């Protein structure tokens, strides 16, 4: 059986009076692709950020290859370098070119020489077909191009898992395709991923398991076909109907 | 004295005026940049200290502080404050630190938390994120404001005249006393101040504004 790469157990995240994540346990195995979906405000981003230790869980534990990250004294910078993260609103470094964005972590975290980092960064940009745009600043790129650089930035670090938080939802509809294509290729290569996505055709194609999330909880989980044919809960069924209608309209 | 001789005498104050302005600018930078980051990311007590520092230096006239340091400290206690050039530069630097702290803080706020989160997601430490991601963007966003701050310092360096530094203003006043010409010396000084401030601060403003637009900051 494949090893679990990243896992949370009984995870809670509470912001003041808002319980964003309540008692969630979830693991992603080597080579596995899990898709998380659910209504806006249900706590998906919060869960993703807790798993990447970008915010501190209120309660519960996160494990990276069995090593507990929620214990005091863990080097979280090292752990974060092993977990790739792609943001919904992209968040490239504004003052750096596409190449500079990809090189920063290689240079400052993995301590590569300039030449080595540049070689690796160009290779990552090639994988997302952004090599010709290496010298452009984020503001000079389209949303889809920016997100491809965002993926290259995460990819170049050679992470053990990549978490993608709605990587296409901030893009114009005509630009989502180019990003989806890249994600499809990553999936084919066996990249371990947790993807938050409502691109249902894509989800169905790549997901090993889909997880329907609502009100901070896992409501229902199963293989993609399960959701397309016979979701058990009312909430999941209603949500699927809405999504499918929306997809048909697009 | 011919007009040329008067002008030459006043011009000889330019290096001192520039030295006070530039040195106090960099002292203000060395104070203001860290203060801005402490204000943005430090713990509460430190934030309050920074606030207090800004309030004091932005509300007490620099001339009061300058006289206080020069006559207060200089006459009783501390050797370096007996030097009027040092005192003037030091006090203007302290005041500029308060101004620059505000300029940088505004810039940091404009850049936002996202850049920090993105940097941390790659495994950069908080300090690395500040050095490699926040500071470069902060500088670009702050450039127009820093240009104005430089112009302000050139102007305010004329306060040094009161504690006897032989800079441009003092020299203009000497010419007035010696020649009894009450128009030309001040007119020349005014013209020179414009020359020292306007081109550079305008350039910084234009460069900063263009760069900000290019980077979408
Ligand atoms: N930094 C924060 N501070 C306070 N509340 C937050 C914060 N981040 C998220 N929340 C709240 O947590 C809930 C879940 O948000 P989020 O994880 O962004 O949901 P989703 O990604 O599913 O749309 C929301 O009610 C949101 O307002
Ligand atoms: Mg979200």
Please say if the pLDDT value at position B80 is more than 80.
no
The three-point CA angle B142-B148-B153 to 5° equals 120
Chain A: residue whose CA lies nearest to B135? A95
Residues in chain A where the model's pLDDT stays below 70: 1, 250
- Does A95 contact B137 at a Cβ distance shorter than 8 Å? yes
Tell me how many domains chain A contains. Answer: 1
Please say if the pLDDT value at position B52 is more than 70.
yes
User: What residues of chain A lie within 8 A of the CB of B140, using their CB?
Assistant: 95
Place of tokens 């943001």: A87
Ligand 1 atom nearest A47 alpha carbon? 17
Q: Please say whether the beta carbons of A197 and A203 come within 8 A.
A: yes
Task: Kindly list the strands in the beta sheet with A59-64, ordered across the sheet, starting from the edge strand earlier in the chain.
Answer: A18-29, A4-15, A59-64, A67-68
Which residue, by CA, sits nearest to atom 25 of ligand 1?
A41
pLDDT digits (tens, 9 = 90+) for B23-37: 999 999 999 999 999
A205 part of a folded domain:
yes
Say how far apart CA A217 and CA A72 lie, in whole Å: 26
What is the Cα gyration radius of chain A? Answer: 18
Give the N- to C-terminal CA distance of chain B in Å, as an integer: 53
Say how far apart CA B134 and CA B146 lie, in whole Å: 17
pLDDT at residue A230, as a whole number: 87
Model confidence at B76, pLDDT cuts 50, 70, 90, reads low
Say how far apart CA B153 and CA B26 lie, in whole Å: 11
Going by their DSSP bridges, the two strands A4-15 and A193-196 should be labelled as: unpaired
CATH of the domain at A198: 3.40.50.300
The residues, ordered by sequence, that sit 6+ positions from B210 with a Cβ below 8 Å of its Cβ are none
Whether B119 contacts chain A with CB within 8 A: yes
Q: Which of B183, B186, B122, B149 is nearest to A85 (CA)?
A: B122
The residues of A whose Cβ lies within 8 A of any Cβ of B are 52, 54, 77-85, 87, 89, 91-95, 104-105, 108-109, 137-140, 153-154, 157
pLDDT digits (tens, 9 = 90+) for B165-217: 999 999 999 999 999 999 999 999 999 999 999 999 999 999 999 999 999 88
Q: Please say whether the beta carbons of B183 and B104 come within 8 A.
A: no
pLDDT at residue A250, as a whole number: 64
Of the listed ligands, the closest to the CA of A40 is 1
pLDDT at residue A189, as a whole number: 95
Domain residues of chain B, as ranges?
15-164
Distance B18 CA to ligand 1 centre (A): 52
A44 part of a folded domain:
yes
Distance A217 CA to ligand 2 centre (A): 14
pLDDT at residue B50, as a whole number: 96
Please say if the pLDDT value at position B103 is more than 80.
yes
A130 part of a folded domain:
no
Say how far apart CA A84 and CA A48 lie, in whole Å: 11
Please give the CATH topology (third level) of the domain spanning B15-164. Answer: MetI-like fold (1.10.3720)
pLDDT at residue B34, as a whole number: 95
A231 part of a folded domain:
yes
A30 part of a folded domain:
yes
Would you say the CB of residue A40 lies under 6 angstroms from ligand 1?
yes
Q: Is the pTM value of this prediction over 0.80?
A: yes
The residues, ordered by sequence, that sit 6+ positions from A56 with a Cβ below 8 Å of its Cβ are A50, A70
Domain region containing A43: 1-74+191-250
A172 part of a folded domain:
no
Cα of B216 to nearest chain A Cα, Å? 6
Please say if the pLDDT value at position B79 is more than 80.
no
* DSSP character at residue B133: I
The number of angstroms, rounded, from the C-alpha of B102 to the middle of its chain's C-alpha atoms is 12
Q: Please say whether the beta carbons of A154 and A191 come within 8 A.
A: no
Whether B138 contacts chain A with CB within 8 A: no
pLDDT at residue B5, as a whole number: 93
Please say if the pLDDT value at position B62 is more than 70.
yes
Length in residues, chain A: 250
Query: What is this model's ipTM?
Result: 0.94
């Amino acid at each position: 059986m494949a090893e679990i790469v990243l896992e949370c157990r009984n995870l809670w995240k509470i912001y003041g009076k808002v319980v964003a994540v309540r008692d969630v346990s979830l693991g992603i195995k080597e080579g596995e692709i899990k898709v998380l979906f659910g209504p806006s405000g249900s706590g998906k981003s919060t869960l993703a950020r807790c798993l990447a230790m970008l915010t501190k869980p209120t309660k519960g534990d996160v494990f990276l290859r069995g090593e507990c990250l929620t214990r005091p004294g863990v080097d979280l910078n090292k752990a974060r370098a092993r977990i790739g993260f792609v943001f919904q609103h992209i968040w490239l470094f504004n003052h750096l070119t596409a190449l500079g964005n990809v090189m920063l972590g290689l240079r400052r975290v993995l301590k590569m020489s300039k030449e080595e980092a540049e070689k690796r960064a160009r290779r990552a940009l090639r994988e997302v077909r952004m090599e010709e745009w290496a010298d452009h600043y984020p503001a000079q790129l389209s949303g889809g191009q920016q997100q491809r650089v965002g993926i290259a930035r995460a990819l170049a670090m050679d992470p053990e898992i990549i978490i993608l938080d709605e990587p296409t939802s901030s893009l114009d509809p005509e630009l989502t395709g180019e990003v989806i294509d890249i994600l499809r290729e990553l999936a084919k290569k066996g990249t371990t991923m947790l993807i938050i996505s409502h691109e249902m055709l894509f989800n169905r194609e790549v997901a090993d398991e889909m997880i329907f999330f609502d009100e901070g909880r896992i409501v229902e989980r199963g293989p993609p076909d399960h959701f397309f044919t016979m979701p058990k809960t009312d909430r999941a069924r209603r949500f699927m109907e809405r999504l499918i209608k929306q997809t048909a309209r697009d | 004295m011919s007009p040329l001789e008067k002008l030459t005498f006043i011009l000889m104050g330019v290096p001192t005026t520039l030295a006070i302005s530039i040195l106090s600018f960099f002292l203000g930078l060395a104070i203001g940049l860290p203060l801005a980051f402490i204000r943005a990311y430090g713990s509460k007590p430190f934030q309050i200290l920074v606030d207090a520092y800004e309030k004091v230096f932005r509300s007490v006239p620099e001339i009061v502080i300058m006289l206080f340091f020069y006559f207060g400290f200089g006459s009783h206690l501390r050797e370096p404050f007996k030097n009027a050039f040092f005192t003037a530069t030091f006090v203007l630097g302290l005041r500029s630190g308060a101004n620059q702290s505000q300029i940088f803080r505004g810039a940091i706020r404009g850049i936002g938390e996202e850049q920090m989160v993105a940097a941390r997601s790659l495994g950069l430490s908080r300090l690395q994120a500040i050095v490699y991601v926040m500071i470069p963007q902060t500088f670009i966003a702050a450039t127009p404001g820093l240009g104005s701050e430089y112009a302000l310092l050139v102007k305010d360096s004329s306060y040094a005249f009161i504690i006897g530094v032989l800079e441009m203003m003092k020299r203009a006043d000497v010419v007035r006393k010696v020649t009894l010409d009450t128009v030309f010396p001040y007119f020349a000084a005014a013209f020179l101040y414009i020359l020292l401030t306007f081109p550079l601060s305008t350039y910084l403003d234009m460069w900063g504004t263009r760069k900000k637009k290019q980077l979408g900051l």
